[in-house]
Amino acid sequence: MSTAEETAGGEMPPWAEVTPDAARRLLVAAVEAFAERGYHATTTRDIAGRAGMSPAALYIHYKTKEELLHRISRIGHEKALDILRTAAQGEGSATERLADAVSSFVRWHAGGRTTARVVQYELDSLGPAARAEILALRRQVDAEVRGIIEDGVAGGEFDVPDVRGTTLAVLSLCIDVARWFNLNGPRTPDEVGALYADLVLRMVGAGK
């Protein structure tokens, strides 16, 4: 299944930020190629071929293969951050907001697993400047989840001796879904999201 056909909690990944259409087609093709073969094993010819274009056409829209990966990574991390920020700033208790954050984050990694694999696991393929930008976004992602957990501890909802370590564990648990999830498997993205939300609430001692 291509990234254009994947669902993210039932929604098509729009890549609306990417214009014109040829640039979007190349980006989608790059996601598929990077996920299948890895960044270093993928050539610009591979990407252009998947998009039904000539290698020369690729350079009209992207100067290098790394520029493609950087754009994919930036858009993906911005989407992930928006998901978590929306949950963190929502109404309700820390327990409700953490459950919403985890279920939404997991649904994104499950439904858009091909894109998520590239976004989350090709960081080291970026050059120093691009990598620094993505790491800054990752720190914001971490801060949103950590903030919810800190609110829960302060309000007596959670029993968490190590907030930073627990935040890392929660994020790692959610992100790893992209490695194994199969849309043809026994669980839907929504079901996995609900399962992981319950597991994380147990992890932080909610409701005890």
pTM of the full structure: 0.88
Q: Over the stretch 26-74, which tens digit does the pLDDT of each residue have? A: 999 999 999 999 999 999 999 999 999 998 999 999 999 999 999 999 9
Q: Over the stretch 106-159, which tens digit does the pLDDT of each residue have? A: 999 999 999 999 999 999 999 999 999 999 999 999 999 999 999 999 999 999
Predicted confidence band of residue 7 (pLDDT cuts 50, 70, 90): very low
Q: Over the stretch 74-96, which tens digit does the pLDDT of each residue have? A: 999 999 999 999 999 999 999 99
| CA distances to 21, 39, 43, 73 from 52, in Å | 12, 19, 14, 23
| Residue with token string 């992100």 | 175
Q: Enter the tokens of residue 25.
A: 């087609």
| CA distances to 4, 40, 78 from 66, in Å | 21, 10, 18
